[in-house]
Chains A and B, each alone.
Chain A
């Protein structure tokens, strides 16, 4: 199985901050990388697919980059509604696997 490792596990930030979350795959997954946002008690929501393509309806302050084994999710200016847990997920090969999550908390 491809292991997905996110860093940091949690971070504290203020509204307006630029936030970057990293995801590393245990082998090359080219661009087969998705990002999800999950708020407490809710299902995850797809933000980005193919490493950098924004899902329809997702604000442009979210962006993704990277390839092969190293990927980043960036929130350019953190908004109150962005405090949540973020997961990366590889769709390169089955079983599809997720990172352990990064919790973005209010400073």
Chain B
């Protein structure tokens, strides 16, 4: 079955770059129809979509983070990655990788986050 697993340092110093990797199993990351996504959740708070990379390699980022975010893919390892630069304490959160897919009802395509990794906690602190 499809599984996603996020990994990376749990502690990052302020002003440095947060780097996380999501390893995907059970499906090829370069197969069509999916958007490989990062979402974060601040402690005790709601969910914030960070951005995605598509099967074709195109990216789209949340404008609130766009200037600091890069999402890339390594098809040889079936992984995709997140880099968030110039981090502050406000970037402390659980980071989830997820698969976004569309469900088509004959008229419209409805995008969902249908598979999620387990999440990895990242703390920004000196």
Contacts and interface: CB of A to CB of B under 8 A. Distances in A.
A50 B45 CA distance: 24
Contacts of B26: none
Given A43-B96, A44-B116, A46-B114, A87 B103 contact: no
Q: Classify chain A's interface size.
A: 20 to 34
Contacts of B45: 100
Contacts of A95: 49, 62-64
Contacts of A50: 103, 105, 108, 110
Interface of A: 31-32, 34, 36, 42-46, 49-50, 53, 55, 87, 89, 91, 94-101
B6 to A, nearest CB: 10
B47 interface: yes
A23 to B, nearest CB: 12
B46 A44 contact: no
A55 B46 contact: no
B111 interface: yes
